[in-house]
Amino acid sequence: MTRATLSRTLAGLTAKRFESASATLVCMAKSAIGVDAIGCAPVWARMTATFFGIGRLRPGPGTWASLATALLWWLLERSIVPGWQWMAAVLLAGTAICLGIPAATKVARAAATKDPQIVVIDEVAGQLLAFVGVPISWKSLLLGFILFRGFDIVKPPPVRQLEQLPEGLGIVMDDVAAGLYALLIMQVLLHFRFLPR
């Protein structure tokens, strides 16, 4: 490596570090004065955490995300081989949880808020859990939606306590618990044939 090449490489590295440090300072300043700094989070984290922008809908971004999840599940479930729908719901919910925790962490840090309303991937995960092993009909979709939103809003123990977990873990796991409550009620209703099989 020649001296000129080495000099250009070092200059490029210094410029990149300066740009990175400048961007970090801008994000910190935005957070400090209460300006929307969510744009400082990586694109993948923003897209995941907001469920491709649904988290920006108002009012009630969590309700919009739950509704979108129920409708998408209704469309998707029809193309899955019968008998494997429960596995698909588990895999999709697991994916939402595994991607949602780090994404929610990054967005919450950028926003300097414990649980930004814009983060709705937690509602996606919880709503999917409510549909595991439940045959899809308009009644089951509506009931699963209502039950999940109800448990997510009321937050019976230990749902509220799970919110105290750090960063993205707390953001996501309380909705996972609400989804499990909804799933339990749905399974009881299926067992006693209050829902069609």
CA distance 155 to 149: 10
Chain centroid, CA 189 distance in Å: 27
In this model, does residue 18 exceed pLDDT 90?
no
Mean pLDDT score of the chain, rounded to an integer? 88
Which of 14-28, 119-133, 170-184 is predicted least confidently?
Answer: 14-28
Backbone φ and ψ for 177, nearest 5 degrees, come out as: -65, -40
> Is residue 6 assigned to a domain?
yes
pTM: 0.82
> Is residue 15 assigned to a domain?
yes
Cβ atoms within 10 A of the Cβ of 143, count?
A: 19
> Is residue 66 assigned to a domain?
yes
Segment 127-163, tens digit of pLDDT:
999 999 999 999 999 999 999 999 999 999 999 999 9
> Is residue 196 assigned to a domain?
no
Q: Which residues are CB-neighbours of 26 under 8 A, at least 6 positions away? A: 40
CA torsion, points 169, 52, 78, 184, in degrees to nearest 10?
A: 20
Among candidates 89, 154, 153, 150, which has minimal Cα distance to 124?
89
Residues 186 and 170 in one domain: yes
In this model, does residue 35 exceed pLDDT 50?
no
Segment 82-124, tens digit of pLDDT:
889 999 999 999 999 999 999 999 999 999 999 999 999 999 9
Separation in Å, CA 160 to CA 29, 167, 171 = 31, 14, 11
Residues 100 and 167 in one domain: yes
Segment 44-86, tens digit of pLDDT:
999 999 999 999 999 999 999 999 999 999 999 989 998 899 9
In this model, does residue 8 exceed pLDDT 90?
no
Residues 60 and 147 in one domain: yes
Chain centroid, CA 37 distance in Å: 18
Residues 101 and 140 in one domain: yes
CA distance 186 to 27: 44
Number of domains in the chain: 2
Residues 145 and 120 in one domain: yes
CA torsion, points 99, 105, 109, 114, in degrees to nearest 10?
A: 130
Whole domain around residue 4: which residue ranges?
1-35
Residues 87 and 108 in one domain: yes
> Is residue 161 assigned to a domain?
yes
**What confidence score (pLDDT) does residue 39 get?**
83
Residues 26 and 118 in one domain: no
CA distance 76 to 1: 56
